[in-house]
């Protein structure tokens, strides 16, 4: 008697299990689409990150752990120095950095000279690569490039000792731009955090869709159990089923993700290049195995994780009462908040972010349910009471998609604030740096002084003429706590006129511009201030050329270009021994126009043509490079948000449908369909609006972390923290639109004739 059904069931178990999806093909489709989209988004972000990582690694490897030979007198190295060193047997390799007139910086190296690098005459692995990839070139090619800036470095292996060097030379560490490693890592860290967040959100969505189906299948599981099929066997089949589905969907998902990354990533390397001012290789693609395996694991864990861990959880909930859970969540949240505030380094900040998200995600649906119940307790009208109670049920039942939407909203909000702030700030800063209309280089061998004198004479009778002379070089900050006195860039300006005085400063003393003009003070950029812990009023000890100077700091200016320390001072006070690496004029020609000026300067300098830049074009170029990066980030986050919104819409609708009987009960009790639809609308709007409201503080906090914690720790500068209520409003509208759509779908369902409640729970009084 009992044997027959069991036998039948054992033959058709997969068929019996799968029959659910034959009856609900849309659910299967939703699950499949969700897996594909989740895989695509995560692979996309991940692919971009790994591409960027490969590029950064390669370029870092090429410059890592090297030392260089420099002259004691601080003068720039020349070919003579190379010859002199080689003659005494020191292994040096020339490294020529050139910045072409158009395009990014290139590095010329001489692989033949590198034979002495590495042990046993084996060339160093970093230099073992063929020299066909931009931006590394053969030395011969690099010297032939028409450039606006070039500098020669001589690298030497770690084995070289100071004693090996001839007199007049010393060893220092070498890196093309200080701290690019940290800078690049931070950006990757940000991207990776974004990727993990995306993965988390999609896993939550996936889980919610899967659980939905599982709840409906519970009846057939019970039936199978009665037929004598053990739950273990059912579970094994479920794992098999989801694995098969995942495999079918993950592979195209990975393909789509790579396609997305390739489409978006074309300009990405370029953007990174412009962003960090470090040379990048184009990254090689990642294999397929990794993302496929990761996504398979994520799908199985997201769908069946608790089924597999059920026993553990049962034991846990035996030990811990429910209130302990929310207490634990609150604890996580508080610990995360405190940690983010106090964290000394980046990894701790990221852990703190994880804690805060875990806590907030855990608490949010509880909070909505709690608030709803509190409102219910205060409402005197039964209808309001009913609405709030129903809201509490919905909040608990829709926990996963709600949390996913909350996270997505918070993430989009933070990324938007960060990106918009960055764009604004960067624009303002570029504007400051490129205040003058034109930038004119002083030709090699020519004297800038004559031109300055001519411009001074013109000043009196040319309306609108604004100009200053800029001399760039390097100085050494001395007397710091650090043993190695850092090199800083010098930005020497004269006269200190309107072009400079329009700069906005982070911090300034009284009469700071006057002090700068008279040479009785300097200004420093934020990077230097943070790194050396300097503030206005402190004295800065400097070695300028061969002179030792002590100058009070008059102001600190924001500088978002490179993570290098920089000082701004009056060019009048530079000692003659100061090595001017670069000299230029910034000019806004005023009424007579630029042509007249270039003619005059060509005459003064006795040259045929001037090297001149239109600052407007540069500004455009720089802005467009940044725009690309930001557009990418925005696109990724927006996609996630759309996915989350769509998932909530679907889940909301499905769950509302399971309660359709009770909504129709209101009709049976004499409310008109229009009134009931109104109630549903308010319910749906309360739900999605509530989650948007809860996402707001999380998003603002995340913005604060990005701007005030992660950025200074990683980049050495802060961005002004700005909030964008208009965008909050847009996100709020989106949430309400989701609510509105749920209500509209439900309204259609109300119109259909009443059938008995579908869910099995109705037989026991309904879920609450």
Partner 1 sequence: MAESLLAVRGLSKHFVSGNETVPVIEKLSFTLGQGQSLALTGRSGSGKSTLLNLLCGLELADAGTIVLQGQVFETGAKIARQKAMKWSSLRRQQIGVVFQEANLMPALTLLENVQFRAQLAGRSTASSQDWLTRLDIGALAQRYPDQVSGGQRQRAALAMVFAMEPALILADEPTGSLDRHTADEVTQVLFDLQARYGCGLILATHDAELAAGCQQHLDLGHLSSL
Q: Which residues bind partner 1 (CB under 8 A)?
A: 381-383, 385-386, 389-390, 392-393, 661-662, 665, 667-673, 753-754, 756-757, 761-768
How far are the Cα atoms of 309, 396, 406, 766 from residue 401, in angstroms, in the given order? 21, 11, 8, 22
Q: Which of residues 216 and 466 has its CB atom nearest to partner 1 in the complex? A: 216
Q: Which of residues 392 and 494 has its CB atom nearest to partner 1 in the complex? A: 392
Q: Which of residues 389 and 543 has its CB atom nearest to partner 1 in the complex? A: 389
- Whether residue 510 contacts residue 543, with contact meaning beta carbons closer than 8 Å, is answered with no
Q: How far is the CB of 758 from partner 1 (least distance, A)?
A: 10
Rounded CA-CA distance 426/630 in Å is: 12
Say which residue the tokens 């209520």 belong to: 725
- Whether residue 292 contacts residue 250, with contact meaning beta carbons closer than 8 Å, is answered with yes
Q: How far is the CB of 659 from partner 1 (least distance, A)?
A: 8
Q: Which of residues 218 and 501 has its CB atom nearest to partner 1 in the complex? A: 218
- Whether residue 446 contacts residue 605, with contact meaning beta carbons closer than 8 Å, is answered with yes
Q: How far is the CB of 386 from partner 1 (least distance, A)?
A: 6
Cα–Cα nearest to 556, from 534, 531, 525, 528: 525
Q: Which of residues 286 and 658 has its CB atom nearest to partner 1 in the complex? A: 658
Q: Which of residues 665 and 736 has its CB atom nearest to partner 1 in the complex? A: 665
Q: Is the peptide bond before 135 cis (omega within 30 degrees of 0)?
A: yes
Other Cβ atoms closer than 10 A to 320: 12
Q: Which of residues 311 and 768 has its CB atom nearest to partner 1 in the complex? A: 768
Q: Which of residues 1 and 756 has its CB atom nearest to partner 1 in the complex? A: 756
Q: How far is the CB of 206 from partner 1 (least distance, A)?
A: 28
In this structure, is the dihedral angle defined by the CA atoms of residues 665, 667, 673 and 675, taken in order, positive or negative? negative
Q: Which of residues 97 and 390 has its CB atom nearest to partner 1 in the complex? A: 390
Cα–Cα nearest to 107, from 67, 79, 147, 54: 147
Q: How far is the CB of 678 from partner 1 (least distance, A)?
A: 13
Q: How far is the CB of 686 from partner 1 (least distance, A)?
A: 14
Q: Which of residues 19 and 672 has its CB atom nearest to partner 1 in the complex? A: 672
Q: Which of residues 348 and 662 has its CB atom nearest to partner 1 in the complex? A: 662
Q: Which of residues 551 and 684 has its CB atom nearest to partner 1 in the complex? A: 684
Q: Exposed/middle/buried for 623, CB within 10 Å: 0-12, 13-18, 19+?
A: middle
Secondary structure E strands in 285-324: none
Q: How far is the CB of 52 from partner 1 (least distance, A)?
A: 50
Q: How far is the CB of 201 from partner 1 (least distance, A)?
A: 29
| 242-264 core/surface letters (b: 16 or more CB in 10 A; e: else) | bbebbeebbbebbebbbebbeeb
- Whether residue 681 contacts residue 732, with contact meaning beta carbons closer than 8 Å, is answered with no
Q: How far is the CB of 369 from partner 1 (least distance, A)?
A: 11
- 3-state DSSP call for residue 767? coil
DSSP 8-state code for residue 444? T
Kindly state the tokens that stand for 41.
């988004």
Longest dimension (CA), the chain: 114
Q: How far is the CB of 736 from partner 1 (least distance, A)?
A: 23
Q: Which residues make beta-bridge pairs with 156?
A: 67
Other Cβ atoms closer than 10 A to 368: 25
Could you give phi then psi for residue 539, rounded to 5 degrees?
A: -95, 140
Kindly state the tokens that stand for 125.
């692995």
Pairing of strands 612-614, 522-525: unpaired
Q: Which of residues 322 and 381 has its CB atom nearest to partner 1 in the complex? A: 381
Kindly state the tokens that stand for 655.
């769950």
Other Cβ atoms closer than 10 A to 420: 16
Q: How far is the CB of 749 from partner 1 (least distance, A)?
A: 15
How far are the Cα atoms of 371, 656, 684 from residue 376, in angstroms, in the given order? 8, 20, 16
Q: How far is the CB of 662 from partner 1 (least distance, A)?
A: 6
Rounded CA-CA distance 627/435 in Å is: 21
Task: State the Cα torsion 171-175-178-183 to the nearest 10°.
Answer: -150
Q: Which of residues 397 and 549 has its CB atom nearest to partner 1 in the complex? A: 397
Q: How far is the CB of 393 from partner 1 (least distance, A)?
A: 5
CA atoms within 13 A on the CB side of 385: 6
| 157-182 core/surface letters (b: 16 or more CB in 10 A; e: else) | beebeeebbeeebebeebebbbbbbb
Rounded CA-CA distance 216/221 in Å is: 10
Number of residues assigned to the chain: 768
CA atoms within 13 A on the CB side of 216: 19
Q: Which of residues 535 and 672 has its CB atom nearest to partner 1 in the complex? A: 672
Q: Which of residues 378 and 501 has its CB atom nearest to partner 1 in the complex? A: 378
- 3-state DSSP call for residue 720? coil
Q: Which of residues 577 and 672 has its CB atom nearest to partner 1 in the complex? A: 672
Rounded CA-CA distance 368/375 in Å is: 10
Q: How far is the CB of 667 from partner 1 (least distance, A)?
A: 7
Q: How far is the CB of 756 from partner 1 (least distance, A)?
A: 7
Reduced DSSP (H G I as helix, E B as strand, rest coil) percent helix, strand, coil of the chain, to 5: 65, 15, 25
DSSP string, 21-44: HHH-HHHHHHHHHHHHHHHHHHHH
Residue 423, C-beta contacts closer than 8 angstroms, at least 6 positions apart: 626, 627, 630
Q: How far is the CB of 381 from partner 1 (least distance, A)?
A: 8
Q: How far is the CB of 674 from partner 1 (least distance, A)?
A: 9
Q: Which of residues 237 and 386 has its CB atom nearest to partner 1 in the complex? A: 386
Q: How far is the CB of 317 from partner 1 (least distance, A)?
A: 19
Other Cβ atoms closer than 10 A to 92: 25
């Amino acid at each position: 008697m009992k044997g027959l059904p069991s036998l039948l069931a054992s033959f058709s178990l997969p068929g019996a299990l799968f029959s659910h999806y034959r009856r609900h093909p849309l659910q299967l489709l939703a699950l499949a689409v969700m897996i594909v989209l989740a895989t695509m988004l995560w692979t996309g972000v991940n692919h971009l990150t790994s591409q960027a990582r490969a590029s950064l690694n390669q370029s870092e490897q090429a410059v890592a752990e090297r030392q260089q030979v420099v002259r004691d007198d601080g003068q720039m190295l020349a070919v003579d120095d190379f010859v002199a060193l080689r003659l005494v047997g020191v292994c040096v390799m020339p490294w020529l950095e050139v910045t072409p007139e158009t395009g990014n910086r290139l590095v010329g190296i001489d692989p033949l000279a590198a034979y002495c690098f590495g042990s046993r005459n084996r060339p160093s692995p970093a230099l073992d690569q063929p020299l066909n990839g931009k931006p590394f070139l053969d030395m011969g090619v690099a010297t032939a490039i028409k450039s606006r800036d070039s500098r020669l470095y001589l690298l030497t292996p770690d084995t070289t000792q100071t004693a090996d060097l001839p007199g007049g030379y010393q060893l220092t560490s070498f890196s093309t731009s200080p701290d690019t490693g940290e800078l690049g890592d931070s950006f990757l860290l940000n991207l990776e955090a974004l990727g993990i967040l995306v993965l988390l959100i999609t896993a939550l969505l996936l889980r919610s869709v899967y659980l939905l189906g599982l709840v409906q299948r519970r009846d057939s599981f019970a039936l199978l159990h009665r037929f004598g099929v053990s739950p273990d066997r059912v579970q094994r089949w479920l794992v098999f089923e989801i694995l098969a589905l995942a495999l079918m969907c993950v592979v195209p998902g990975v393909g789509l993700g790579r396609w997305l990354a390739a489409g978006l990533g074309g300009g990405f390397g370029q953007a990174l290049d412009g962003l960090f001012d470090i040379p990048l290789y184009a990254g090689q693609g990642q294999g397929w195995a990794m993302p496929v395996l990761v996504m398979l694991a994520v799908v199985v864990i997201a769908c069946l994780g608790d089924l597999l861990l059920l026993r553990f959880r049962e034991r846990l909930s035996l030990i811990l009462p429910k209130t302990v859970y929310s207490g634990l969540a609150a604890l996580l949240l508080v610990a995360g908040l405190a940690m983010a505030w106090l964290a000394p380094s980046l990894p701790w900040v990221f852990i703190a972010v994880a804690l805060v998200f875990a806590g907030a995600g855990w608490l949010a649906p509880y909070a909505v349910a709690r608030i709803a119940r509190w409102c219910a307790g205060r409402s005197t009208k039964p209808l309001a009471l009913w609405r709030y109670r129903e809201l509490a049920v919905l909040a608990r039942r829709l926990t996963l998609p709600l949390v996913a939407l909350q996270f997505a909203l918070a993430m989009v909000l933070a990324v938007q604030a960060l990106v918009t702030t960055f764009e604004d700030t960067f624009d303002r800063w570029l504007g400051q740096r490129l205040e003058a209309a034109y930038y004119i280089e002083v030709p090699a061998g020519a004297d800038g002084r004559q031109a300055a004198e001519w411009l001074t004479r013109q000043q009196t009778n040319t309306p609108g003429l604004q100009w200053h002379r800029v001399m760039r070089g390097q100085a050494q900050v001395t007397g710091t706590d650090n043993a190695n006195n850092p090199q800083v860039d010098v930005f020497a300006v004269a006269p200190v006129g309107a072009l400079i005085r329009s700069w906005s400063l982070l911090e300034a003393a009284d009469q700071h511009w006057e002090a700068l003009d008279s040479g009785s003070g300097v200004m420093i950029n934020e990077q230097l201030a943070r790194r050396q812990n300097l503030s206005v009023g402190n004295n800065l000890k400097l070695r300028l050329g061969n002179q030792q100077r002590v100058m009070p700091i008059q102001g600190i200016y924001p500088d978002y270009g490179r993570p290098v320390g920089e000082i701004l001072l009056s060019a009048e006070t530079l000692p003659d021994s100061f090595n001017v690496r670069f000299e230029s004029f910034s000019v806004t020609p005023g009424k007579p126009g630029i042509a007249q000026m270039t003619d005059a300067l060509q005459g003064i300098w006795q040259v045929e043509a001037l090297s001149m830049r239109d600052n407007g074009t540069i500004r455009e170029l720089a802005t467009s490079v940044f725009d690309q990066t930001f557009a990418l980030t925005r696109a990724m986050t927006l996609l996630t948000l759309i996915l989350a919104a769509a998932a909530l819409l679907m889940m909301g609708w499905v769950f509302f449908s399971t309660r359709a009987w009770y909504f129709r009960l209101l009709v049976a009790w004499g409310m008109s369909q229009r009134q009931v639809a109104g109630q549903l609308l308010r319910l749906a709007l309360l739900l999605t609006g509530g989650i948007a409201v809860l996402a707001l503080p999380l998003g603002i906090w995340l913005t604060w972390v990005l701007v005030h914690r992660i950025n200074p720790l990683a980049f050495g500068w802060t961005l002004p923290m700005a909030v964008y209520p208009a965008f909050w409003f847009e996100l709020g509208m989106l949430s309400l639109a989701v609510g509105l759509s749920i209500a509209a779908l439900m309204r259609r369902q109300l119109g259909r004739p009443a059938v008995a409640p579908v869910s099995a729970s109705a037989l026991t009084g309904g879920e609450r």
